[in-house]
């Protein structure tokens, strides 16, 4: 990425997030601008470090990371009862790793929407290289104002994406509008759990760090999500935190981010991270990497530290499953 572009995006991102007042941060497209900048900065890092699907997953003992990611995606396909007859929207599709896996297992036609232009380019390249390109479409747009006619889709899903919305009710209202009557939607939501205590300074700091490190205006609690579903006009089929349900969670969802001694975990040790930060700052100073790279890395480290902290205290979940229907 061009030096000025990266530096400008990081500065802009920090400016929006330094705005302590949530309503100012979220207002006038601030959330969307911050999130768009965020994904321009991190998509390449994510693809290299995590893969083509940008989400967490429950994991059995002995199950590989990759297998657990695909199982979590197939689980949504089962919950939605997807088949080759369905016209589906993936809300906040990333680079469409999940959409390719879900199209493959179900035969459904899936359109992905993402706000980020770089992700659109990646979607087109990766879809073309896959065996399910004929089942996929992608559209750049804001899920707070979806560029589709009302009553278009049979089914919809969103994987760890609607947490970026400046208003959860707002994005749910968009989803219900674009679903056909009787259409189903399932979401994996990021949420603060019942164990979150807004009067506990440690809890509050972890929540703030998760928000800042991941471009989220304000995380909802599971209770607030249940209210938002109703307010948007959905019929609730099911809401459940998969972290605590019996869906195969022997390995904590945050293990991959935690430091340890396996090859994949050593990069999450404090020493390795400090070394990387020092290296990036030096390379930036020497004009070998674009200005802003060090700051982008620092933001990602805040995300990588705060997510396991929230997971260990069980005050945060990245897999609050929400299954809803639009009334007939």
Ligand X SMILES: C[S@@+](CC[C@H](N)C(=O)[O-])C[C@H]1O[C@@H](n2cnc3c(N)ncnc32)[C@H](O)[C@@H]1O
The residue among 142 and 218 lying less far from ligand X, judged by its C-beta, is 142
The residue among 55 and 203 lying less far from ligand X, judged by its C-beta, is 55
Residue ranges in 103-132 that form contacts with ligand X under rule CB under 6 A: 113-116, 119
Q: How far is the CB of 200 from ligand X (least distance, A)?
A: 27
At 288, list the tokens: 């070998």
Size of site (CB under 6 A) for ligand X: 23
Other Cβ atoms within 10 Å of 79 Cβ, number = 16
Dihedral over alpha carbons 5, 11, 14, 15 (to 10 degrees): -120
Q: How far is the CB of 40 from ligand X (least distance, A)?
A: 9
CA 29 → CA 26, 139, 254, distances in Å?
7, 19, 31
Q: Are 161 and 112 in contact (CB under 8 A)?
A: no
Q: How far is the CB of 62 from ligand X (least distance, A)?
A: 24
Is residue 159 at the binding interface for ligand X, with CB under 6 A as the rule? yes
Is residue 40 at the binding interface for ligand X, with CB under 6 A as the rule? no
Residue ranges in 44-83 that form contacts with ligand X under rule CB under 6 A: 53-55
Q: How far is the CB of 328 from ligand X (least distance, A)?
A: 28
The residue among 3 and 65 lying less far from ligand X, judged by its C-beta, is 65
Is residue 161 at the binding interface for ligand X, with CB under 6 A as the rule? yes
The residue among 186 and 289 lying less far from ligand X, judged by its C-beta, is 186
Sort strands 316-325 and 235-241 into parallel, antiparallel or unpaired.
Answer: antiparallel
Sort strands 136-140 and 179-192 into parallel, antiparallel or unpaired.
Answer: unpaired
**Binding range to ligand X, per CB under 6 A, among 78-86, 157-165, 197-205, 256-264:** 157-165
H or E segment at 103? helix 97-106
Q: State the residue for tokens 């703030």.
A: 208
3-class SS of residue 187: strand
Is residue 13 at the binding interface for ligand X, with CB under 6 A as the rule? no
Sort strands 179-192 and 316-325 into parallel, antiparallel or unpaired.
Answer: antiparallel
3-class SS of residue 212: helix
Q: How far is the CB of 317 from ligand X (least distance, A)?
A: 15
Is residue 308 at the binding interface for ligand X, with CB under 6 A as the rule? no
The answer for 295, left when phi > 0, alpha when psi is -120 to 50, beta otherwise, is alpha
Q: How far is the CB of 159 from ligand X (least distance, A)?
A: 4
**List of residues contacting ligand X (CB under 6 A):** 32, 35, 39, 53-55, 92-94, 97-98, 113-116, 119, 142-144, 159-161, 164
């Amino acid at each position: 990425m061009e030096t000025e572009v990266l530096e400008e995006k990081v500065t802009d991102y920090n400016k929006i997030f330094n705005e302590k007042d949530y309503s100012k941060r979220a207002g006038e497209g601030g959330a969307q601008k911050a999130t768009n900048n965020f994904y321009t900065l991190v998509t390449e890092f994510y693809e290299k470090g995590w893969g083509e699907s940008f989400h967490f997953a429950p994991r059995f003992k002995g199950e590989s990371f990759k297998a657990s990611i695909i199982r979590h995606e197939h689980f949504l396909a089962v919950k939605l009862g997807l088949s080759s007859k369905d016209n589906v929207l993936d809300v906040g599709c990333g680079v469409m790793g999940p959409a390719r896996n879900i199209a493959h297992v179900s035969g459904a036609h899936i359109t992905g929407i993402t706000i980020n232009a770089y992700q659109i380019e990646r979607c087109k390249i990766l879809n073309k290289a896959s065996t399910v390109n004929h089942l996929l479409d992608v559209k750049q747009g804001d899920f707070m104002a979806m560029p589709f006619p009302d009553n278009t889709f049979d089914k919809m899903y969103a994987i760890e994406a609607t947490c970026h919305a400046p208003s959860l009710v707002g994005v749910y209202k968009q989803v219900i509008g674009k679903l056909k009557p009787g259409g189903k939607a399932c979401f994996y939501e990021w949420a603060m759990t019942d164990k979150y205590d807004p009067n506990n300074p440690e809890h509050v700091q972890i929540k703030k760090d998760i928000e800042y490190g991941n471009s989220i205006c304000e995380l909802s609690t599971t209770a607030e999500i249940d209210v938002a579903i109703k307010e948007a006009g959905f019929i609730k089929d099911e809401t459940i935190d998969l972290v605590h349900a019996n869906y195969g969670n022997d390995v904590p969802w945050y293990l991959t981010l935690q430091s340890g001694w396996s090859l994949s975990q050593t990069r999450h040790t404090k020493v390795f991270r400090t070394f990387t930060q020092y290296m990036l700052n030096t390379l930036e100073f020497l004009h070998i990497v674009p200005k802003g790279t060090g700051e982008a890395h620092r933001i990602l480290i805040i995300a990588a530290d705060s997510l396991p902290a929230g997971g260990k205290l069980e005050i945060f979940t990245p897999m609050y499953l929400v299954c809803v229907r639009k009334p007939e």
